Structure 1
Amino acid sequence: MADGKNEVGAADRARISFREDYEVRDWTKALGVSEQELREAVDAVGNSVDAVRAYLNKG
Protein backbone atom coordinates (compact mmCIF):
# COMPACT_ATOMS: atom_id res chain seq x y z
CA MET A 1 0.00 0.00 0.00
CA ALA A 2 1.25 3.48 -0.81
CA ASP A 3 2.60 5.67 1.95
CA GLY A 4 0.01 8.40 2.50
CA LYS A 5 0.49 11.60 4.49
CA ASN A 6 -2.99 11.26 5.96
CA GLU A 7 -2.36 7.77 7.29
CA VAL A 8 -1.45 7.65 10.95
CA GLY A 9 1.17 5.19 12.06
CA ALA A 10 4.58 4.87 13.61
CA ALA A 11 7.37 6.34 11.55
CA ASP A 12 10.19 4.03 10.63
CA ARG A 13 13.00 5.82 12.45
CA ALA A 14 15.42 3.01 11.62
CA ARG A 15 15.48 3.86 7.90
CA ILE A 16 16.44 6.97 5.95
CA SER A 17 14.03 7.98 3.22
CA PHE A 18 14.36 10.53 0.44
CA ARG A 19 10.63 10.48 -0.43
CA GLU A 20 9.78 13.89 0.99
CA ASP A 21 11.78 17.10 1.30
CA TYR A 22 11.08 17.31 5.02
CA GLU A 23 12.53 13.83 5.55
CA VAL A 24 15.77 14.80 3.82
CA ARG A 25 15.88 18.07 5.79
CA ASP A 26 15.29 16.27 9.09
CA TRP A 27 17.93 13.59 8.47
CA THR A 28 20.60 16.05 7.29
CA LYS A 29 19.98 18.17 10.40
CA ALA A 30 19.94 15.17 12.75
CA LEU A 31 23.17 13.77 11.32
CA GLY A 32 24.91 17.12 10.73
CA VAL A 33 25.63 16.49 7.05
CA SER A 34 24.70 17.92 3.67
CA GLU A 35 22.15 16.23 1.43
CA GLN A 36 24.96 15.10 -0.87
CA GLU A 37 26.89 13.55 2.04
CA LEU A 38 23.72 11.81 3.21
CA ARG A 39 23.01 10.42 -0.27
CA GLU A 40 26.61 9.20 -0.61
CA ALA A 41 26.40 7.45 2.75
CA VAL A 42 23.09 5.76 1.87
CA ASP A 43 24.50 4.71 -1.51
CA ALA A 44 27.53 3.21 0.25
CA VAL A 45 25.84 1.34 3.12
CA GLY A 46 22.08 1.34 2.54
CA ASN A 47 19.31 3.24 4.31
CA SER A 48 19.75 1.88 7.83
CA VAL A 49 20.25 4.79 10.23
CA ASP A 50 22.75 2.80 12.30
CA ALA A 51 24.82 1.89 9.24
CA VAL A 52 24.76 5.47 7.94
CA ARG A 53 25.80 6.86 11.36
CA ALA A 54 28.69 4.38 11.55
CA TYR A 55 29.77 5.23 8.00
CA LEU A 56 29.68 8.97 8.68
CA ASN A 57 31.52 8.64 12.01
CA LYS A 58 34.38 6.56 10.68
CA GLY A 59 35.84 9.45 8.70
Structure 2
Amino acid sequence: MSDDKTNRGGGDRQRISLSEDYEVRDWAKKFGVTEEGLRAAVQKVGDRADDVERELRGG
Protein backbone atom coordinates (compact mmCIF):
# COMPACT_ATOMS: atom_id res chain seq x y z
CA MET A 1 0.00 0.00 0.00
CA SER A 2 1.34 3.38 -0.90
CA ASP A 3 0.28 5.29 2.19
CA ASP A 4 1.20 3.22 5.23
CA LYS A 5 1.04 5.79 8.01
CA THR A 6 2.97 3.44 10.30
CA ASN A 7 5.90 3.46 7.86
CA ARG A 8 7.80 6.64 8.59
CA GLY A 9 10.83 5.67 6.53
CA GLY A 10 11.92 6.95 3.14
CA GLY A 11 10.24 4.22 1.10
CA ASP A 12 6.71 5.41 1.81
CA ARG A 13 7.71 8.97 1.00
CA GLN A 14 8.64 7.89 -2.49
CA ARG A 15 5.13 6.71 -3.32
CA ILE A 16 2.14 8.88 -4.19
CA SER A 17 -1.22 7.94 -2.72
CA LEU A 18 -4.13 9.24 -4.75
CA SER A 19 -6.54 8.24 -1.98
CA GLU A 20 -5.24 10.98 0.32
CA ASP A 21 -6.33 14.50 -0.71
CA TYR A 22 -3.42 16.15 1.08
CA GLU A 23 -0.90 13.96 -0.78
CA VAL A 24 -2.46 14.75 -4.15
CA ARG A 25 -2.41 18.46 -3.33
CA ASP A 26 1.16 18.42 -2.00
CA TRP A 27 2.65 16.31 -4.82
CA ALA A 28 0.86 18.39 -7.46
CA LYS A 29 2.31 21.55 -5.92
CA LYS A 30 5.78 20.00 -5.74
CA PHE A 31 5.71 19.06 -9.42
CA GLY A 32 3.97 22.27 -10.53
CA VAL A 33 0.99 20.51 -12.13
CA THR A 34 -2.74 20.32 -11.57
CA GLU A 35 -4.20 17.56 -9.44
CA GLU A 36 -5.72 16.11 -12.61
CA GLY A 37 -2.30 16.13 -14.28
CA LEU A 38 -0.79 14.32 -11.33
CA ARG A 39 -3.56 11.71 -11.33
CA ALA A 40 -3.07 11.10 -15.06
CA ALA A 41 0.68 10.64 -14.63
CA VAL A 42 0.21 8.20 -11.73
CA GLN A 43 -2.35 6.27 -13.77
CA LYS A 44 0.14 6.02 -16.64
CA VAL A 45 3.41 5.17 -14.85
CA GLY A 46 2.45 4.04 -11.34
CA ASP A 47 2.82 5.58 -7.90
CA ARG A 48 6.62 5.89 -7.59
CA ALA A 49 7.44 9.59 -7.24
CA ASP A 50 10.59 9.35 -9.40
CA ASP A 51 8.66 7.77 -12.27
CA VAL A 52 5.85 10.32 -12.00
CA GLU A 53 8.31 13.21 -11.97
CA ARG A 54 10.08 11.83 -15.03
CA GLU A 55 6.75 11.50 -16.84
CA LEU A 56 5.70 15.03 -15.95
CA ARG A 57 9.04 16.46 -17.06
CA GLY A 58 8.73 14.73 -20.42
CA GLY A 59 11.53 12.28 -19.80
TM-score greater than 0.5 by the shorter chain: yes
Moved over 2 A (4+): none
Long gaps (5+) in structure 1:
none
Q: Give the Cα–Cα distance (whole angstroms) in 2 for the partners of residues 42 and 31 of structure 1.
A: 12
Aligned residues: 55
Taking only the aligned residue pairs, the percentage that are identical comes to 51
Whole-angstrom distance in 2 between the partners of 1:20 and 1:54: 22
CA radius of gyration, larger in: 1
From the two aligned structures, give the one with the greater helix fraction. 2
Task: Give the Cα separation in 2 of the matches to 1:37 and 1:54.
Answer: 13
Q: With the length of structure 2 as denominator, give the TM-score of the two structures.
A: 0.77
| RMSD value, Cα | 2.2
Gaps of 5+ in 2: none
Which residue does the alignment assign to 1:17? 17
